[in-house]
Amino acid sequence: MQYRRLGRTGLQVSELSYGAARGAAQNPSQFIDTVHACLDAGINLIDTAGGYDLGESERVLGQALVGHDDVIVETKYCPYDSYRADATYVGTPDALVAAAEESLRRLRRDRLDIFLGHGLRTLETLDRFMTDGCYAAMCRLREQGKVRFIGISELSEGDGTHQILQRAVPGGAFDVVMLTINLMLQTAVESVLPLCAQHDVGTVVMMALNQSSGVSGLTSLEAARELIRRYIGTGQLPDAPPYTEAGLLDFLQPYPIPEAAIRYVLAQPVSTCCVGVRSQERLAQNLRALAPPYLDAQRQERLKELFGGIVRQTF
């Protein structure tokens, strides 16, 4: 495992990190075994949130991490009434502080390493988060030593051109951002990553496999083909060759689609690529992507030619 600097936090984080959004409620023992396998592989950053599995992700993760105080845990407070792109903003400073306290309890920790505002999705609600006391409450938690570093995550299906992060990063308010980059939603590479480098903000990449759907995404060749069909259906890709050809992604061989997707992310100047897995077998497959230079320039350029125009995430 290689490690990269997480911006101005100074933390050295594993280039592959673990997304603990799913699995804790369905099969706690398997979830714990997977967490321990991640630690054995050198992964030292785990992402979770108070809303994942109704808190079970944090609770079971806290159980799994007993005796592993050196692991960096990132968790989040969602200031909306759901994870939908059109959700209503309901954030308050009191709710944010209560969420942080509850996360500390479930995770069995005396401080949160990284605490994010979860899924900021419009410029208007970003402005509210910054001015209604929520951001000030995050800063107070940091001053009290209950939180080490603060940041925000985006909701890429609601903001595919990353307007929120383009406004937030230059302001200097946040140490870390969580953003979407994958083979088919590449816009942050040119719009956000240079800003993060300029302002020394750590970057945790999510949805490298575009994996919110069980039938489309970058989890297999057939799922990737289905994702392409869905992008054609939304009008973001043409209903014509080469997009309609079965061999469209053959140039990524010999890499399987999930490995190519992780390699693409790690070829960018990011701090870490966060991927969720439910089995040690899948973890072992993902670890095969950890070989510099990850993905050669020719394949990256072809991916940009094919999918660089996509600006709205589809599942």
At 26-51, the pLDDT tens digits run 999 999 999 999 999 999 999 999 99
Domains within the chain, CATH numbers bracketed: 3-213+268-295 (3.20.20.100)
Task: Say what the pLDDT of residue 206 is.
Answer: 97
Q: Is the pLDDT of residue 298 over 90?
A: yes
Q: Is the pLDDT of residue 212 over 80?
A: no
Is 188:180 a contact under the CB 8 Å cutoff? yes
CA distance 286 to 265: 12
- Is residue 61 very low, low, confident or very high in pLDDT (cuts 50, 70, 90)? very high
Residue 312: exposed, middle, or buried by beta-carbon count in 10 A (0-12, 13-18, 19+)? middle
- Is residue 253 very low, low, confident or very high in pLDDT (cuts 50, 70, 90)? very high
Q: Is the pLDDT of residue 160 over 80?
A: yes
Q: Is the pLDDT of residue 278 over 90?
A: no
Whether this prediction's pTM lies above 0.85 is answered by yes
CA distances from 22 to 18, 28, 32, 34, 258 (A): 11, 10, 12, 12, 18
